[in-house]
Amino acid sequence: MKDLSCFLAAMINLFGPLTLLILWHRKTGARFYPAIVAFITCIPVFFIGNAIRSGFSHSAPILYYIQQGILFGIFEEGAKFLVLRYFLTSYDRRTDSVSYGIGHGSYECLGCGISCIGLIGSGRAAPDILFFQMWSFTEGTALVIALTVLIFYGIQNNRYKVTLPAAILIHAVSNASVGIFIEPVAILLCTLLTAAASYAAYRCWQAMQSPFEE
């Protein structure tokens, strides 16, 4: 039963983002290119981030996870800001921000999917792996899209001095919480943060609506 759970968890992570991107494209006509750029951008961002994290001391676990949260909050959201503002300048539709968010999230999901496949037959998988991965995919994807929309809104409306630090802070707290708190508390806190970020992103999404959109 655990092997089946690992397999299903792997399929959710490996094919969930692509399915979501295709559905988003069909519904809104959103372009795929921002998602591809986001995925490629994540490669050096996570490589450098992991290299820096390897130098953190594990002697104080709480401090370690706080440092990790801040590090990846700055690196991931900062990279989004730089790419969206200076590289994808012609991709200025609000739907492009969601495509970018899905592409960013797909990189993280790829790692989770591969890890789940590696657990098949090992007997080391947690009993709730399928539930946790379903929650992780849903919450993680929603959060990364919401933060991308916030940053995109800040760029389009010259308010990134507010939206970028907010995105970094939310990302850092969410990242650190998974390591600091026990699973039920971490799930609750991350879900609340994602809900708040999603609401803020929804308000920004509405504010970016073109009068020519149906």
Task: Describe the crossing of helices 183-207 and 129-156 by its angle, rounded to 10 degrees.
Answer: 30
Nearest Cα to Cα of residue 103 among 165, 194, 22, 207: 22
**Total domains present in the chain:** 1
| Half-sphere exposure of residue 9: CA atoms within 13 angstroms, side-chain side | 28
Q: What is the DSSP string of 133-152?
A: HHHHHHHHHHHHHHHHHHHH
Nearest Cα to Cα of residue 24 among 136, 108, 102: 102
At 194 the three-state DSSP class reads: helix
Q: Would you say residue 31 lies in a domain?
A: yes
Q: Would you say residue 213 lies in a domain?
A: no
Q: Would you say residue 184 lies in a domain?
A: yes
pLDDT reported for residue 122: 85
pLDDT reported for residue 2: 80
The whole domain housing 64 covers: 2-207
* Separation of alpha carbons 117 and 199, rounded Å: 34
Structure tokens at 46: 């996570």
Q: pTM to 2 decimals? A: 0.94
Q: Would you say residue 212 lies in a domain?
A: no
Give me the tens of pLDDT residue by residue for the chain, a chain 214 residues long.
Answer: 788 999 999 999 999 999 999 999 999 999 999 999 999 999 999 999 999 999 999 999 999 999 999 999 999 999 999 999 999 999 889 999 999 999 999 999 999 999 999 989 888 888 889 998 999 999 999 999 999 999 999 999 999 999 999 999 999 999 999 999 988 899 999 999 999 999 999 999 999 986 545 4
pLDDT reported for residue 211: 52
Q: Would you say residue 21 lies in a domain?
A: yes
pLDDT reported for residue 213: 53
Structure tokens at 71: 């590090």
Q: Would you say residue 214 lies in a domain?
A: no
Contact 29, 126 (CB under 8 A): no
Q: Would you say residue 32 lies in a domain?
A: yes
